Amino acid sequence: MKGLGIAGLALALLAPALPAGAAESVNLILNWTPTADHSPYYYAKAQGWYEKAGIDLNIEVGKGSGVSSLKVGSGGSAFGVADLATTLVAKSKGADVVALMSVYANTGQTFYWLKSYGVDGAKGFAGHKIGNPPGDASRVMWPAFAKAAGIAPDSVSFVNIGPTAKIAALKSHTVDIISDFYNEHDLKVKEFGDDLGYLNWKDIGLNPYGNSLIVNGAFLAKNPKLSEDFVRITQKAFAACVADVDPCLKALLDQASGLDKDNQQKQWERIKFLMTDEFTTTKALGWIDAARMQKDYELVQTYLGMEKPFAVETAFTTRLLDPAIKMDASKVRK
C-alpha cells in the first residue's frame, strides 16, 4: 500500500498541472470573410478581453449565414454571426440556435440603379431587369418588397449575377437594378456618382433584423456565465469601435489580408447606421425587440417557409446584454 502511495505521488508530480484559470476554447464562426463589421471581435481578442474572461477565442471565416446558422445549431461552433431571417429558417429545421444580440438592427438590403436608365424609385422598377445571385435573400423576399412598394411581383425579370459582378453588370447595362448590402454603399457612389439611385428596404417599411450574434442553445444552457461574458465583451468592443474605429480596423487588417483600409473605414460608417435604432440607443447596444421579431417570423414564414413552426421567443434572448452599454447615435451619419 505504501509503495502504491509513493508511485501514485510520483505520477502526480510528473503529471502536467493545469493553470487555475485555464481558458476554455471557444469558436466563433463568421457569416462571411472578415470585413469591417467583424472588426470588434478581432479588436477585443487583440486587447485580451476574451482571454481575461477565460475564453480562448478562435475566429473562423464563414461561408454564408446558412452555414454559420447550421454549424452553431448543430453544436459544431459555440457562437456565430448570421442573418437573423436565415437563423429562423434553420431553427425551423431543428437547429438548436438562439440569437443573443443584433448587429444590424436595420436591414442592409438595398436596391441600386442608375437614374440614366429611366428608373425612378421602387414604383419605376416595373419592366426592368434586376441582377443578383439565384439564392440572394432580396430575390427570395422579392414578393414582400413588391407588395410594400405597390407593384406586381411579376413586373420585373431577374438575371443571375455573381456577388462580385454586380457593379460591372450595372455599369455595362446588363441589368438595370442590382441588390446589395448598404455597408458597400460607398463603392457604388465612387463608381457612379450623382447618377446613382438607391432604396434601402427600411424606407418602404420592410426592416427585418440582419446579421446577429447567435449561440448554440445547449452550450448556452451549460455555460450561462461564459455566454454572458462573451456577449458583454462583444458589446463593449462594438461600443469602443463606434467611438474610435482606427484600432479596431488595425486589429482586423493584422489578421485579414487583402482589405483596403479606406474602403473598410467607409463601410464602418454605414455599419454604424445599420446598428442604430430606437432600442439599441435606449435599451442596450444589440437589443432585439420582441415585437419586431414576431414580424420577422411572420415575414419569414410567408416568404421563406418554416419547416416546423416554433414560438418566436425561443429564438432569442436579451437577458445577457449589458443595459449600461448603448449605441451612441451621435457617432452615426446616414
Same domain for 85 and 128, yes or no, is no
* Residue 5 domain flag: no
Answer positive or negative: Cα dihedral of 314, 319, 321, 325: positive
Q: Which pLDDT score, from 0 to 100, does residue 285 have?
A: 98
Q: 183 and 163 in one domain?
A: yes
The count of C-alpha atoms lying within 13 angstroms of the C-alpha of 289, restricted to the half-sphere facing its C-beta, is 19
Q: How many domains does the chain have?
A: 2
C-alpha cell at 299: 415575414
Is residue 256 situated within a structural domain?
Answer: yes
Which parts of the chain are beta strand (E)? 24-29, 55-60, 79-83, 97-102, 109-114, 129-132, 157-160, 177-181, 196-200, 211-216
Of the candidates 25, 30, 75, the residue with the CA atom closest to the CA atom of residue 51: 25
Same domain, 253 and 266: yes
Domain end point (choices 204, 219, 250): 204
- The pLDDT assigned to 303 comes to 85
Q: 192: which 3 cell numbers?
A: 457612379
* pLDDT at res. 141: 85
Q: Which of 281, 275, 313, 321 is nearest to 296 (CA)?
A: 313
Tens of pLDDT, residues 214-260: 999 999 999 999 999 999 999 999 999 999 999 999 999 999 999 99
Please state whether the predicted TM-score (pTM) of the whole model is above 0.75: yes
pLDDT score of 19? 43
- 334 residues of the chain, pLDDT tens digit each: 334 343 343 333 333 333 445 789 999 999 989 999 999 999 999 999 999 999 999 999 998 898 999 999 999 999 999 999 999 999 999 999 999 999 999 999 999 999 999 998 999 999 999 999 887 778 888 988 999 999 999 999 999 998 889 999 999 999 999 999 898 899 999 999 999 999 999 999 999 999 999 999 999 999 999 999 999 999 999 999 999 999 999 999 999 999 999 999 999 999 999 999 999 999 999 999 999 999 999 999 998 889 999 999 999 999 999 999 999 999 997 6
Judge if 184 and 322 occupy the same domain.
no
Q: Are residues 237 and 89 in the same domain?
A: yes
Q: How many whole angstroms separate alpha carbon 212 and alpha carbon 286? A: 8
Q: Under the phi-then-psi rule, with left for phi > 0, alpha for psi from -120 to 50, and beta for the rest, what region is 131?
A: beta
**Quick one: 187 and 299 in the same domain?**
no
Distance CA 15, CA 2 (A): 20
Residue 76 lies in a domain: yes
CATH assignment at residue 86: 3.40.190.10
pLDDT for the residue numbered 21: 57
Determine, yes or no, domain membership for 220: yes
Q: What is the pLDDT of residue 289?
A: 98
Mark which of 204, 221, 237 sits at the end of a domain.
204
Q: Do residues 220 and 307 both lie within one domain?
A: yes
Q: How far apart are CA 202 and CA 119, in angstroms?
A: 19
Same structural domain, 226 and 302: yes
Domain-located, residue 10: no
Domain termination residue (choose one: 186, 204, 222): 204
- Identify whether 2 is part of a domain: no
CA distance 281 to 57: 28
Tell me: the pLDDT tens digits for 33-66? Answer: 999 999 999 999 999 999 999 999 999 999 889 8
Same domain, 122 and 255: no
Domain match, 258 and 325 both: yes
Assess if residue 177 is contained within a domain.
Answer: yes
Domain span at residue 48? 24-106+209-331
- Looking at the structure, tell me whether residues 143 and 267 fall in a common domain: no
Same domain, yes or no: 124 and 92: no
Cα(241)–Cα(42) distance, integer angstroms: 11
Residue-level pLDDT at 283: 98
What pLDDT, on the 0 to 100 scale, is given for residue 157?
Answer: 96
Tell me the average pLDDT of the chain. Answer: 91
What is the reported pLDDT for 197?
A: 97
